[in-house]
Amino acid sequence: MALTTLWDSTFVGEKHGNVPPEVIALHGWGRTGADFSRVLEGTNALALHLPGFGSAPPPPEPWSTSDYADHLAQALKGHPPAVLVGHSFGGRVALRLAARHPECVKALILTGVPFVARSGGTQAPLAFRLGKQARKIGLISETRMEELRNRYGSTDYRAAQGVMRGVLVKAIGEDYFADASTVRAPVTLVWGEKDEPAPLRGAQKSLEYFPQAILRVVPGAGHLLEGNLEEALAQALQDLAN
């Protein structure tokens, strides 16, 4: 698959079909646009590598998902609205884009967006909680605090480095229901029945906020773009084209 830029911007991605792209796909955390290779077959699309992932350099500072959306909107300026397909972190960015820059978005297809906190979570270990309090009042060094973060943080947190760790921290603390209530583009939610990082109940709750949205539950599917979840996303794209 050919690597190309989004018009004259610094955004890069995998090109499908002809240009200009009618569909723009945004991947999840720690992933790349290659995740959409089968979903986008037969479409004129661009599966972006968001800044900080794959071959794309990181942003100059820890961006929020709103920052990602604003920079993407600048790249899309002057071009026809596109269908946005967003998975997980990419879905957060797509939702921000639709809320803040509606002129860029023809329709939204979202999957695995963490609208609510992960279920079944446990409280952080006591040592980590005590360390955070001690760091706030200067009793331990930043070096020691970083050791605790690397020991007790999530897999994604431990894997993220530099600026991207700051991006992750910002994203985890963001809320999305308020933005959902302002989205005027039609929304299709394609959700794995067994998605644990982004539980189905969050997608169900979002229907109370989106002005026009439908939810398609994919039996047995989880969070990653594979198997019947891929097929359901591809079908949602086809349905929009018809």
Domain check: are 74 and 91 in the same one?
yes
Domain check: are 151 and 186 in the same one?
no
Q: Domain span at residue 130?
A: 126-163
Domain check: are 98 and 139 in the same one?
no
Domain check: are 70 and 104 in the same one?
yes
In this structure, of 20-24, 130-134, 202-206, 232-236, the range with the lowest mean pLDDT score is 130-134
**Mind listing the pLDDT tens digit for each residue in 120-169?**
444 567 776 777 787 788 878 878 877 766 675 677 767 677 899 899 98
Residue 42 DSSP code: T
Domain check: are 154 and 42 in the same one?
no
Domain check: are 156 and 210 in the same one?
no
- Supply the pTM of this predicted model: 0.87
DSSP code per residue over 1-60: --EEESTTSS-EEEEESSSS-SEEEE--TT--GGGGTTTTTTS-EEEEE-TTSTTSPPPS
Give me the numbers of helices (H) and strands (E) for the chain, helices first please.
9, 8
Which of 111, 140, 163 terminates a domain? The answer is 163
How close are the terminal C-alpha atoms of the chain, in Å?
26
| Among 18, 20, 52, CA closest to 33 | 52
Element (H, E) at 95: helix 89-100
Tell me if 225 sits within 8 A of 140, measured CB to CB.
Answer: no
In this structure, of 19-33, 147-161, 193-207, the range with the lowest mean pLDDT score is 147-161
Domain check: are 87 and 147 in the same one?
no
Domain check: are 159 and 175 in the same one?
no
Give the number of domains in the chain: 2
Query: The tokens 């071959």 sit on which residue?
Result: 55
Query: The tokens 């071009």 sit on which residue?
Result: 79
CATH number at residue 200: 3.40.50.1820
Domain check: are 40 and 87 in the same one?
yes
Which of 163, 183, 217 terminates a domain? The answer is 163
Domain check: are 19 and 136 in the same one?
no
